[in-house]
A and B are shown apart, each in its own frame.
Chain A
Amino acid sequence: DTGVSQDPRHKITKRGQNVTFRCDPISEHNRLYWYRQTLGQGPEFLTYFQNEAQLEKSRLLSDRFSAERPKGSFSTLEIQRTEQGDSAMYLCASSLGPKETQYFGPGTRLLVL
């Protein structure tokens, strides 16, 4: 039984660079969520996909952020022109459906210098 996986686990980048994270959900889970967690806080919702369709984006998701799920399987989250305020843990979760439990991946910890 493979859970949600995320790659990379850690990323250090310089301000202004672009970064891309990948999430592989649990097989057959058609819902995929992205959350962001900063130090000392609970995760905050960024966006979600139902299959390949991105259906909602939080106001936290600025224009520098873009997410895709091209074939309804894995998803990518790209941050362009990173800023120090983007430093956080980026968590991916998947669920079998909207009313089912969300299972989280190990996260990608981003540090912007």
Chain B
Amino acid sequence: AQSVAQPEDQVNVAEGNPLTVKCTYSVSGNPYLFWYVQYPNRGLQFLLKYITGDNLVKGSYGFEAEFNKSQTSFHLKKPSALVSDSALYFCAVRTSGSARQLTFGSGTQLTVLP
């Protein structure tokens, strides 16, 4: 079975500082990894994905993620946080079966303090 873990329920960072939201995964075979962001009472917005290729993936709104196969991690990063980045972030892995559904972590609430 495939799974992802987000070890931090809450991350606080000061505006202008770099941010990291952690994600580790467990899959059989090649991992297909995603980050989504959710604002209050809204659906999920796609940020970025890793399928293959460069370990550093760039996405929307200045976010990037680093794929590390040896550590089975896919941490989300941003060099300089904005207050508007405050939201709930989900890491997900896509299954390799016919459905190709997403399996999500439990989410990390990011709060950027002004």
Residue of B34, B43, B45, B105 contacting most chain A CB atoms (<10 Å): B43
**Residue A79 lies at the interface, judged by CB distance under 8 Å to chain B:** no
Q: Which of A32-56 contact B (CB under 8 A)?
A: 33, 35, 40-45, 48, 55-56
Q: Give every chain B residue within 8 A of A98 (Cβ-Cβ).
A: 98, 100
Tell which of A11-19, A69-77, A80-88, A102-110 binds the partner. Answer: A102-110
Q: Give every chain B residue within 8 A of A105 (Cβ-Cβ).
A: 43
- Are A41 and B101 in contact, CB atoms less than 8 angstroms apart? no
Contact mask for chain B residues 67-102; partner A; CB cutoff 8 A; 1 contact, 0 none: 000000000000000000000001010000011111
- Are B42 and A48 in contact, CB atoms less than 8 angstroms apart? no
**Residue A91 lies at the interface, judged by CB distance under 8 Å to chain B:** yes
Size category of the A interface is 20 to 34
- Are B104 and A42 in contact, CB atoms less than 8 angstroms apart? yes
Residue in contact with B46 in the complex, picked from A42, A101, A107, CB distance below 8 Å: A101
Residue in contact with B101 in the complex, picked from A4, A42, A45, A103, CB distance below 8 Å: A45
30 pairs, A vs B, C-beta closer than 8 Å: A6-B43, A33-B101, A33-B102, A40-B106, A40-B107, A41-B106, A41-B107, A42-B92, A42-B105, A42-B106, A43-B44, A43-B90, A43-B102, A44-B104, A45-B99, A48-B99, A48-B101, A56-B98, A91-B44, A98-B98, A101-B34, A101-B46, A101-B49, A102-B102, A104-B36, A104-B43, A104-B44, A104-B46, A105-B43, A107-B43
